[in-house]
Copies of this chain bind each other. A is one copy, B any other.
Amino acid sequence: MGAPKQKWTPEEEAALRSGIVKHGAGKWRTILKDPEFSGVLYLRSNVDLKDKWRNMSVMANGWGSREKARLALKRMQPISKQDENPMALSNIGQSDEEIVDAKPLAVSTGSPQIGVPKRSMIRLDIVLIS
């Protein structure tokens, strides 16, 4: 017994998606404060939004169940902290403000990243030419 694990309602999911379309993925706190969504998402925290988006996204893509995706590079420790990726080929070539679509699904080819935060760049693994 204990925390009932509040399931997300379709309304909440819709609000989350709309919020992402409006503010961008990663702007959890902003979405939450937007009066347009706060009425529906008032029970959720910014972290909840982030987690929900992750759960929605990860699967939709066929990227395997989250855990498998990148569970390969754990156990790191005595490495140098010298990384700080230079975001070189990061964005396709525009500001990181224009989000695309807020659909966790699809995204096979042609769909760029959903939300590219300013500092934690994208994963350079995805090389999209053109």
Min CB distance A76 to B, Å, is 5
List the B side residues contacting A82 at CB < 8 Å.
2-3
What 1/0 mask marks residues of chain A from 112 to 128 whose CB sits below 8 Å from any chain B CB? 00000000110110000
Which residue on B lies nearest to A82, using beta carbons?
B3
A2-B75 in contact (CB<8A)? no
Known A9-B77, A77-B9; judge A3-B45 contact (CB<8 A): no
Q: For the complex, what is the distance from the CA of A77 to the CA of B85, rounded to whole Å?
A: 29
Given the known interface contacts A1-B123, A123-B1, the answer about A43 and B6 at a Cβ–Cβ threshold of 8 Å is: no
Chain A residues close to B by CB (< 8 Å): 1-4, 6-7, 9, 42-43, 45, 47, 67, 70-71, 73-85, 120-121, 123-124
